[in-house]
Amino acid sequence: REPIKGDGGDAGGGTVRKLQMESQRVNGIVRPGTVDLETRTVEIVFTTGQSGKRWHWDIGYYMEELEVSKAAIRTERLDKGLSIIDNHDRWAGTSGVHGITESYRIENGELIGTARFATDDDSDVVFKKVVDGVLRHVSLGYNVLKFDVKAGKGENELDTYRAVDWEPLEL
């Protein structure tokens, strides 16, 4: 993966840190009232870019944010459709795939998409939970290719790593 780039808090400009970052997950929300039973679709807010506390072996705790913009998001996978999988288990094969995302847009700082669920028995169980309003929270898996880093102000504030080049992987 590409190095993480940022100001690292030094006054002399930028520093480059080479870190191997694992893929991350961020919370998403099913949009109430958008379920379409006929097409088996629903709108989901994939991410608002919200800040979340993370930990890495080399840097300890830090805050991570996603920049939600056309410039920051690598959309190749989004354009093809993200797999909707259970528990981010990419190794479950086709039996772990419950659907696909069909479209997406960036609106008011949110990445919003339409998810379509498959008709097999296992996927139907998941879709019914969405229809019933029981499954309302999902998570977006992603890889970050570049961060802008801002040092925390003061002793108790964590550094903020803002993902300015990132790629959604799955929902």
pLDDT at residue 94, as a whole number: 72
| Residue 40 near residue 147, CB atoms below 8 Å | no
- Write out pLDDT tens, residues 86-131: 876 666 667 789 999 999 999 999 999 999 999 999 999 999 999 9
Alpha-carbon separation of residue 38 from 67, 123, 127 (angstroms): 34, 15, 12
pLDDT at residue 1, as a whole number: 36
CA atoms of 104 and 57, how far apart (whole Å): 34
CA atoms of 26 and 111, how far apart (whole Å): 12
- Write out pLDDT tens, residues 8-19: 444 444 444 555
Residue 161 reports pLDDT greater than 80: yes
Query: Has this prediction a pTM greater than 0.85?
Result: no
* Count of Cβ atoms closer than 10 Å to residue 71 Cβ: 7
pLDDT at residue 7, as a whole number: 41
- Write out pLDDT tens, residues 27-76: 677 887 999 999 999 999 999 999 999 998 888 999 999 999 999 999 99
Q: Nearest Cα to 56, choosing from 94, 81, 20, 28?
A: 20
pLDDT at residue 154, as a whole number: 83
CA atoms of 22 and 142, how far apart (whole Å): 9
CA atoms of 119 and 40, how far apart (whole Å): 8
